[in-house]
Structure 1
Amino acid sequence: MNQHFTAPAEATDQPRATPQDVVRLVDLKRRFGATPALDGVSLTVRKGEILGIIGRSGAGKSTLIRCLNGLERPDSGEVFIEGREISRLGERDLQPLRRRIGMIFQHFNLLSAKTVEDNVALPLKIEGRPKAERLQRAAELLDLVGLSEKAKAYPASLSGGQKQRVGIARALAARPALLLSDEATSALDPETTRSILALLKDINRQLGLTILLITHEMEVIRSIADRVAVIDAGRIVEEGPAWSVFAEPRSDITRSLLGAIRPQLPAELAGRLLPSAGTETILRVDVAGEAARGPLLSDLAAAVPGPFRLVHGGIDHIQQQPVGTLFLAVPGSEAGHLADVITFLKARQARVEVLGHVANSV
């Protein structure tokens, strides 16, 4: 993997088909009245990867996922699943293709009158598989999601996290090529969310299963996604490896979505910032890859004589890549010193922004 701090490619070109593409969308458009829900979406999901699609409410996420599973037909464009274009297929031809797509939902969608094992086995019953085969498969999947002891229980007796595990097991029953997750953790508490995301990552590793996550939560993307695509007003506005997008978001919507989980300048300090004429200059320094692995601040102190101080920030890890945001206070009385600090940091592949100045020491 390229270790340099490079910006993610923007999604402007149509994806090229390869044998490894489980999903390929080409210039997908869908309008409801005068409102474009999808406005030229082109995207691929490769075999064995976890792709997160993130956006605010109304961005087009739900329409996109409905086009993927054949519940919504685009006005124009193409939807390929494992190389076959599905958007113009009739219902009869869609049925076997839908079995190649597993689906997990925000509110679980379990049948309350059926036991856990019967809920898991339901897709196989619809296929007409023998009862013994259905129950064996259900037992295998309940063991996979850690709920073997709940096989005879009913959904009403389960916690939210347990219900979602049943939903995941059911989605895997027909051995799909693609798992769609539609806000699957939005109704769960943070601890349960972490356990469900860890389970999905483990399933991805064990089965090599391709997963497409629809979410409005950057924490979900940070936890398990290999790649991320940001959707806004029906368009993919940014796309790339998750760590790269987190390290250097290009679009305003991506920066806004990241705001809740990336380090931000403390409000008390932000309130004291002046556009000029301060005793200290506040820098925001974003680093990733090699720049974040080394002793950046120690090297800065050794290479550039003069004071500076770390006032806030830290290093996170995404896809085993370090991604960090640091806030430094540099005395502003010597312009040459500040320029030397910025030059050194940029030479180390860091992105540096002057946020402002403060009249008194931080």
Structure 2
Amino acid sequence: MPDFPTTEAGAPPILRLANVSKRFGAHAALAGVDLEIRRGEILGIIGRSGAGKSTLIRCINGLERPDAGRVEVEGRAIEALSDSQLRPVRRRIGMIFQHFNLLANRTAAENVALPLKIAGTSRAERERRVAELLDLVGLAGRGGQYPAQLSGGQKQRVGIARALAADPALLLSDEATSALDPETTEQILALLAEINRRLGLTIVLITHEMDVVRRIAGRVVVLHAGAIAEEGPTGRVFADPQAEATRNLLGVSAAAGLPAAIRDRLQADPSGEAILRLDLGGAAAPMPILSDVAIRHGVAIRILGGAVDEIGGDTVGRLFLGVTPRASADLPAILDQLAAATLRTELLGHVSPAR
């Protein structure tokens, strides 16, 4: 995956939501959402079904009017605009969908050209722009094919080209990879990252797929019960989630990933091997932490489980260790050294030697 883009320092946000709330009867779909989306970034918005993701995206593109709060697109408040006033704003927002939403009786080129035709663009300019966009998404020469003649990934590429036709400032992806197989998902994510890098286009990914966010989003927002439970750099949120809703969504628990044979033998008695969990992230993550500890304290260290990955451009991971110090009194100093080089170091317990 490509490097993550650097957004322009001090630039006004392309989208701002201030205390946005929306109810459907007794149900609060959104409850006081405050959010700024910076120009040029890829932002992931994740949450369980019913968390408010769909309502949020409909408030962003003006399909829903919030009951309270303010929605600004490129500095312009849209929540009180009439339908006719909203049209030019919506042209600044491209949409790609889970099920492509292509017109079956129109060719790929005609589907891409549709927003331009509605906007009154001349035929010559439409043809030039469509050819340019089909080439951009890897479908040069396929403009004459109908959706039924295209694979799922090709249909989504047409959908992306259509979303870019009016030269939007913001691209909203609503579960755009959910209907695709893993290999095609990877290709579409690579395409979106390339578009972000080449065009500087701001992209918002609305998804329940954790791996989509891990792969290309530089920042993530976690929605829970209509409110933002947590937000921050993707690597930090995935490696060290602060909110209980985020931990539940990511399936994080203190001993998750620790082999059952070790977990079932954990005890508080400090004799035997100390079992530690290390959450890694930031500049210290790639450093030789374990060898430094082993050399300094003369301890035996076993890696019991875990993994190291790259998320949001950062090296992050979780390791479970078995540490046998020369004396129990050495353990606090070992923990202090590990804690200074990790996001979190936790002593889960001890295990006695197997008999």
TM-score (norm 2): 0.92
Measured at CA, do residues 361 and 25 of structure 1 come closer, stay the same or move farther in structure 2, by a change above 3 Å?
Answer: farther
* Equivalent residue letter for 1:64: L
Kindly report which structure 2 residues correspond to 1:228-307, keeping only aligned pairs within 5 A, or say none. Answer: 228-259=220-251, 264-269=256-261, 271-277=263-269, 279-307=272-300
Give the whole-Å Cα distance in 2 for the aligned partners of 1:273 and 1:207: 55
* Equivalent residue letter for 1:172: L
* Equivalent residue letter for 1:310: I
- Cα distance, 1:357 vs. partner? 3.0
Give the whole-Å Cα distance in 1 for the aligned partners of 2:262 and 2:92: 51
Residue 320 of structure 2 is matched in structure 1 by 327
Secondary structure, aligned partner of 1:293: coil
* Equivalent residue letter for 1:117: A
Moved over 4 A (4+): none
- Cα distance, 1:360 vs. partner? 3.7
Kindly report which structure 2 residues correspond to 1:80-159, keeping only aligned pairs within 5 A, or say none. Answer: 80-159=72-151
- Cα distance, 1:332 vs. partner? 7.7
- Cα distance, 1:154 vs. partner? 0.4
- Cα distance, 1:21 vs. partner? 0.8
Measured at CA, do residues 270 and 68 of structure 1 come closer, stay the same or move farther in structure 2, by a change above 3 Å?
Answer: farther
Q: Larger deviation: 273-282 or 68-77?
A: 273-282
Secondary structure, aligned partner of 1:213: strand
Measured at CA, do residues 225 and 293 of structure 1 come closer, stay the same or move farther in structure 2, by a change above 3 Å?
Answer: same
Assess if the C-alpha contact under 8 Å between 1:264 and 1:313 holds in 2: no
Secondary structure, aligned partner of 2:198: helix
1:25 correspondence with 2:17:
yes
Give the whole-Å Cα distance in 2 for the aligned partners of 1:172 and 1:335: 62
Give the whole-Å Cα distance in 2 for the aligned partners of 1:322 and 1:339: 26
1:354 correspondence with 2:347:
yes
Give the whole-Å Cα distance in 2 for the aligned partners of 1:307 and 1:162: 53
Give the whole-Å Cα distance in 1 for the aligned partners of 2:54 and 2:258: 35
Secondary structure, aligned partner of 1:340: helix
- Residue segments in structure 1 that go unaligned for 5+ positions in a row: 1-17
Assess if the C-alpha contact under 8 Å between 1:279 and 1:333 holds in 2: no
Aligned-pair Cα RMSD in Å: 2.0
Q: Larger deviation: 240-249 or 50-59?
A: 240-249
- Cα distance, 1:36 vs. partner? 0.5
Give the whole-Å Cα distance in 1 for the aligned partners of 2:80 and 2:275: 56
Secondary structure, aligned partner of 1:164: helix
Give the whole-Å Cα distance in 1 for the aligned partners of 2:169 and 2:255: 37
- Cα distance, 1:58 vs. partner? 0.3
1:315 correspondence with 2:324:
no
* Equivalent residue letter for 1:147: L
Q: Quote the sequence identity (%).
A: 58
Secondary structure, aligned partner of 1:249: coil
Assess if the C-alpha contact under 8 Å between 1:263 and 1:314 holds in 2: no
Measured at CA, do residues 361 and 183 of structure 1 come closer, stay the same or move farther in structure 2, by a change above 3 Å?
Answer: farther
Give the whole-Å Cα distance in 2 for the aligned partners of 1:38 and 1:70: 15
Query: How many residues are treated as equivalent by the alignment?
Result: 344
Give the whole-Å Cα distance in 1 for the aligned partners of 2:255 and 2:146: 43
TM-score (norm 1): 0.90
Secondary structure, aligned partner of 1:143: helix
Measured at CA, do residues 282 and 263 of structure 1 come closer, stay the same or move farther in structure 2, by a change above 3 Å?
Answer: closer
